[in-house]
Amino acid sequence: MRLAARVLAAARPERTLPEPNSLTWLDVVLVLLALAFAWSMGAHYTGACMGMPYASRSIGARAALVLMAPLTLLGATFFSHRVLGHVGHDIVAGGQLRTPAAIAVIAAAFVLTTLFTQRRIPTSTIQILVFCIVGAASALHLRIRWDTVARLAVLWILAPPAAFVLGYAFTRLFDALPALSAAEGAAMHAGRALVVVGGVASLAMGANDVSNATAVFLSTGLCGPLLAGLIGGLGLALGALTWGRPLLERVAFGLVRMDLPMATAAQLVQAIVVLTAVLFGYFTSMNQALIGAMAGTGVARGRQTIDTQVIVGVLRGWVIGPAAGVLLGYVFALATRGG
């Protein structure tokens, strides 16, 4: 009985859940757009979650995506509630967006994320989403909670160096463990460990990134965090399965120059950094955490582990993404002001 009560409480939003016959066509459009955005993100983050297990030949491409999809759904459905609450209620003062404004935010973020995915450039969908909300709120003269945006920005700044330090430390640790050493006889154990931490990263991605697509469900009072996580998680899983291979291969063969212990350390650190943020109800960039961890493993070995040209492209995306989010969110929201 207690478990059932908790599930019902998680599914119930802070505002009244609309009855089925009170849903409007705008609500349907919002749900479809959120599913499309989640689908795009699911494809976008395949490389960040399973790129290194695939690059090391520890798992095949199809098996990697099949493993990633249900773990992403699990993380989104059950471990995302605090993040959904923060994004849904704490960026715009009062935590309320009208459905047309929420559509503008998701449409802008979806367009930008899809563009980056088509160009095979890993970027931060979290930063895109937050600044799309900022742009839309500015256009609609809503008060922005800059304290929340500032806390998120501080987290985004701190996550890569924290991942760097942990990446260095875990690489040193794994080198000292015979079962995870780079020796040929330990390759099977190291490969299995890498697949496991790739699965943990997939779980973390679902918990961390589903709010990009469906936190606006809480802002509009459409549903609560459990249902929002489930809907978004389904989109993420479908994206990984149906369109995930290009980014998987991009990260696996264009970004990574690592042996098994280094890759395991980097992937594990990424999951730790992201899940720590989720634990406190915030989200951070999967790609930034991974890049920081990879750089730390490289320093631990005294070698370059990342293609410099690719990193320049990633950094360019991190700069362009938020700026484009503000602009496109503003423009799309202007189009809804009469709605």
Q: 306 forms bridges with which residues in the sheet?
A: 256
In contact, 305 and 258? CB cutoff 8 Å: yes
Give the model's confidence band at 113: pLDDT under 50 very low, under 70 low, under 90 confident, else very high: confident
Interval 97-113 mean pLDDT: 92
pLDDT at 34 over 80: yes
Q: Provide the pLDDT confidence category of residue 183 given band limits of 50, 70 and 90.
A: low
Mean pLDDT score, 277-283? 94
pLDDT of res. 157: 86
Q: How far apart are CA 262 and CA 293, in angstroms?
A: 9
d(CA 267, CA 261): 10
Instruction: Find the mean pLDDT for residues 247-272.
Output: 79
Highest mean pLDDT, choosing among 75-84, 87-96, 145-154, 177-186? 75-84
pLDDT per residue as tens digits for the range 293-318: 988 988 888 876 666 766 676 677 67
Contact 58, 192 (CB under 8 A): yes
From CA 38, how far away is CA 244, in angstroms rounded?
Answer: 12
| 3 state SS of 224 | coil
According to the model, what pLDDT value does residue 55 have? 85
Within 10 A of 185 (CB to CB), how many other CB atoms are there?
A: 9
Write down the pLDDT at residue 208: 96
Q: What integer is the mean pLDDT of 275-289?
A: 92
pTM of the model: 0.86
| pLDDT per position as a tens digit, 195-208 | 999 999 999 999 99
Question: Which of the four pLDDT bands, split at 50, 70 and 90, describes residue 179?
Answer: low
pLDDT per residue as tens digits for the range 218-241: 999 999 999 999 999 999 999 999
Is a pLDDT exceeding 50 seen at residue 62? yes
Q: Is the pLDDT of residue 100 over 60?
A: yes
Predicted confidence (pLDDT) at residue 122 exceeds the cutoff of 90: no
Phi, psi of 327 (to 5 degrees): -65, -50
- pLDDT bin (cut points 50, 70, 90) of residue 8 is very low
pLDDT digits over 38-61, tens only?
Answer: 998 898 889 889 988 998 889 999
- CB environment 46-69: b (16+ within 10 A), e (fewer): bbbbbbbbbbbebbeeeebbebbb
Lowest-confidence segment of 28-37, 91-100, 238-247, 251-260 by average pLDDT: 251-260
